[in-house]
């Protein structure tokens, strides 16, 4: 059962608003929904090039209905003040310390942002009730699961990185708050998001920087990794649809609330071989003029074994998303990488 959630005239609180997904989501709803107010929180940390975050933020600040707050989700007083002052009806949590490899070097950042920060948000939703809490989980929760495609019905008890463990914890925390306080919550397991003005720590972006600098790129698992690459516009469209349908509040036979709680995969449902992905990327970089016509790609790639914390394949079963929201990501890889290459050329060259 789903409750319809009207976006028009509402106040939406988006955390991670200067981030890749957060900024694209804010831009879409500000442009397309009447009388919507967006409160955006971001700590603007330097985990990656802050210039990209600032560029995304400048776009958003052109809108009168956008309010930006620079601050940290782990700051409970700040989070409570935002709920008290703006009383958002919908909360979308996209703030997180991202990245699997970084979690091996900097575990503290993940505990602060992904656990304490998320807890503060849940407390806000409890004290200032909301119509719908939507939050980012991750395909990394599937860990070393052998069964593909990954289904939200699968057990996810074997995380292979701290990042994955924090995301699984978010799902558990949301479930307990949904049960205890009847907070409608929906978790979204995103699969390898890419596109223009994306995250420089992602492989396609790092590959581009290295190829341009004439360095050699390492392709893990000898190129046999498969990833469900999902274009940013598809992710955002999915989030907007999910925001508008909250799990319905209902009581069980014991008279107590059945937790209004749901989880979906958002992925392309079409895993691509990493080697094919890199081939298309370099073709599009040449087409956009980022790399010269005669670029010797073969001389700049090296096939290497897997690294710790990585998984050989990610592949989303998106059937529930299709059935309940009539939506399935569909942007072809070449089209998505073309838009990235064109943006890269404009931003960096």
Q: Active-site residue numbers?
A: 163
Q: Mapping DSSP to helix (H, G, I), strand (E, B) and coil, where does residue 37 land?
A: strand
Instruction: Judge residue 31's burial from the number of C-beta atoms within 10 Å of its C-beta, 0-12 exposed, 13-18 middle, 19 or more buried.
Output: exposed
> How many beta carbons lie within 10 A of that of residue 214, not counting itself?
11
Structure token pair of residue 295: 């670029």
> How many beta carbons lie within 10 A of that of residue 127, not counting itself?
11
Annotate 138-171 with DSSP letters as a single string: EGGGGTT--SSSB-TTS-----SSHHHHHHHHHH
State the Cα–Cα distance between residues 24 and 3, nearest whole angstrom: 25
Burial call 275-310: b when 16+ CB within 10 Å, e when fewer: bebbebbbbbbbbbebbeeebebeebbeeeeeeebe
Q: Mapping DSSP to helix (H, G, I), strand (E, B) and coil, where does residue 136 land?
A: strand
CB 196 within 8 A of CB 343: yes
Structure token pair of residue 187: 């978790």
């Amino acid at each position: 059962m789903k409750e319809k959630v009207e976006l028009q005239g509402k106040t939406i609180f988006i955390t991670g608003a200067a981030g890749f997904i957060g900024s694209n989501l804010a831009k879409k709803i500000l442009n397309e929904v009447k009388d919507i107010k967006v409160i955006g929180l971001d700590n603007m940390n330097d985990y990656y090039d802050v210039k990209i975050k600032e560029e995304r933020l400048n776009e958003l600040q052109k809108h009168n209905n956008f309010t930006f707050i620079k601050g940290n989700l782990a700051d409970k007083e700040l989070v409570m003040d935002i709920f008290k002052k703006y009383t958002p009806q919908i909360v979308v949590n996209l703030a997180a310390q991202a990245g699997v490899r970084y979690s091996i070097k900097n575990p503290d950042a993940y505990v602060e942002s992904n656990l304490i920060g998320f807890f503060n948000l849940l407390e806000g939703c409890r004290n200032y009730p909301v119509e719908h809490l939507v939050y980012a989980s991750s395909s990394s929760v599937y860990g070393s699961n052998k069964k593909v495609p990954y289904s939200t019905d699968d057990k996810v008890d074997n995380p292979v990185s701290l990042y994955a463990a924090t995301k699984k914890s978010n799902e558990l925390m949301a479930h307990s708050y949904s049960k205890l306080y009847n907070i409608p919550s929906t978790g979204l397991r995103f699969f390898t998001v890419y596109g223009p003005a994306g995250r420089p720590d992602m492989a396609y972006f790092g590959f581009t920087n290295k190829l341009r600098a004439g360095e050699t790129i390492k392709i893990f698992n000898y190129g046999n990794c498969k990833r469900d690459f999902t274009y940013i516009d598809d992710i955002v469209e999915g989030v907007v649809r999910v925001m508008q349908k909250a799990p319905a509040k209902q009581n069980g036979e014991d008279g107590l609330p059945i937790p209004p709680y749901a989880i979906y995969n958002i992925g392309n449902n079409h895993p691509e071989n990493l080697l094919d992905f890199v081939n298309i990327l370099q073709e599009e970089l040449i087409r956009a003029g980022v790399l010269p016509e005669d670029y010797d790609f073969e001389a700049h790639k090296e096939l290497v074994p897997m690294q710790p914390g990585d998984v050989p394949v990610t592949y989303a079963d998106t059937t529930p998303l299709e059935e309940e929201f009539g939506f399935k990501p569909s942007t072809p890889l070449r089209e998505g990488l073309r838009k990235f290459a064109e943006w890269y050329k404009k931003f960096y060259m």
